[in-house]
Every structure is written in structure tokens, then in C-alpha cells.
Amino acid sequence: MSVALRRAAPSDFSEVRRITRDAYLRAGHFAADHPYMGVLEDVEHRAAHAQVWVAEAAGKVVAAVTLTFTGQPYSEIARDGELEFRMLAVDPAHQGGGLGRAVVRAIVEHARQLPGIAAISITSATFMERAHALYRSLGFRRAPERDWHVPGEDVLLWVFRLEL
């Protein structure tokens, strides 16, 4: 599937919020009242402190992702020379058709154009098996030495990395 990845405009924020919320809830990753859902839904804050991007297919926003770099407020694991992406969400109405794969490929192509970026890193909860399969199929490798726990919770997060 062909997608066009672009920076989200303020007019996209409500759709980014809906897609992200719906995707995370449908996947069963979090309950609607989990505190992290508030972080996911605060697109305005993300856009002010990181780069929120959307993927369009046939002129419609169908996915969203946040890009960040080391030292930025939304960066959890990025090191110098790495682009980190977070909060990848595909509209549940469009899942299963390769959109997630297309978005990650577009992120990889974007990263290759960025001066000084030699790798991409991502954190993924241990229970997000579909995401792990996608990342591995695109060449990402586990970096277990960088795994970490969510502060105050018994949740282990795995780190995946792709050398560009």
C-alpha cells in the first residue's frame, strides 16, 4: 500500500487523537482510563515537544506516529545519531492491509535523509507481539542491553534498533 508521510498540521490533531486512542484500545494494550491514554491523546503537547507525523492513503489520514531525537522531551531511548519513533498507530478500520509496514518504511526513508542519523530506535512493550514481528521483518534487531522498566509499574519495555 502506498502512503504519504507528512508532518501533522493542527487540523489533523483530532484525527490523530482518534486513531491513536482507537488503535491502542482495540489492541487491548491499555484500558480507557489508564494514565498513558492521556499521554497518547494529548496530541497538542506531543506536537509542541516532538514531531507528530501522519500517513495518508487515498487522501485520508490513516495512521500517526511521533518522531523524536536524543535530549528532546518525548525521547525515551534515543542516543546521539538515532531517530526514535513512538506511538505508532494505524486506524483500526485500515489495519491488516500493510499500512503499519508502509509507515515504518517511510520513517526509515525519512531517517536516511536526515544528516547525522545513523540508526532508528523504538521501544515496545513485551506484550506487543504484532509490532515485534513487524519490526523484525523490516530489519530491526533487539537491543536487550537497552531494555527498561516503566517507572512505578511492572512493565518491561524492549528496545529495537535499525542501523541505516
Q: pLDDT tens string for the chain (164 positions)?
A: 678 999 999 999 999 999 999 999 998 878 899 888 999 999 999 999 999 999 998 889 999 999 999 999 999 999 999 999 999 999 999 998 899 999 999 999 999 999 999 999 999 989 888 899 999 999 999 999 999 998 888 889 999 999 99
* Extended beta strands in the chain, E state: 4-7, 51-57, 60-69, 82-90, 119-125, 141-142, 148-149, 156-163
Classify residue 70 by burial, with Cβ atoms within 10 Å: 0-12, 13-18, 19+.
middle
* Extended beta strands in 37-100, E state: 51-57, 60-69, 82-90
pTM equals 0.93
User: Do residues 85 and 114 make contact, with C-beta atoms less than 8 angstroms apart?
Assistant: no
